[in-house]
Amino acid sequence: MARICFRSQVNPALLDAYKDAHAAVWPAMLEALRDTGWRDYSLFLDDDGLLIGVVEVDDSLDAAQRRMAATEVNAAWQAEMGALFADADAPPDEGFVTLPEVFNLDAQLTAAGLPTHANYPPATTSTRTGA
């Protein structure tokens, strides 16, 4: 499994339209993402239009994108979303710029011989001690 972070750029004048579209993604698009191996997928949008995505895929982002491109709904969704991006020359899902991971908490906990979240009690509501 691979965890991918990518960035893209939404047209700042169209942020509300982008947010509205993602507040109620088409059910067929949701199913296609799920069925083509996109997991734990989140998008984060800054006020200047910077879009950051984080997704887990079975193999690679390229392979997951190819599987999505083969679905009928993806072309319609990309056409709809294309008008909302700063670079309208290519479908939005082809303009992702991937970012390299430079820190991973669980990997470093493991390397240091420390428990990870998988084998550590949940955090408490207070981080203060001795209060």
Catalytic residue at 117? no
Q: Percentage of the chain surpassing pLDDT 90?
A: 79
| Domain-wise residue ranges, the chain | 2-103
> Can you give the pLDDT at residue 95?
85
DSSP string, the chain: -EEEEEEEEB-GGGHHHHHHHHHT--HHHHHHHHHTT-EEEEEEE-TTSEEEEEEEESS-HHHHHHHHHTSHHHHHHHHHHHTTBS-TTS-GGG--EEE-----HHHHHHHTT---GGGSPPPPS------
| Res. 91 pLDDT band, cuts 50 70 90 | confident
What pTM value is reported for the model? 0.84
Is the distance from CB of 50 to CB of 9 less than 8 angstroms?
Answer: yes
**pLDDT band at residue 18, thresholds of 50, 70 and 90?**
very high
Residue 46: pLDDT band (50, 70, 90) is very high
User: The tokens 């390229």 sit on which residue?
Assistant: 62
Distance CA 7, CA 90 (A): 15
Q: Which residue among 3, 22, 39, 66 is the active-site one? A: 22
Tell me the average pLDDT of the chain: 91
| Residues 116-130 pLDDT 10s | 987 777 776 655 555
Query: In CATH, which of 3.30.70.260, 2.40.440.10, 3.40.50.970, 3.30.70.100 is domain 2-103?
Result: 3.30.70.100
pLDDT of residue 81: 94
- Mean pLDDT for 91-103 is 91
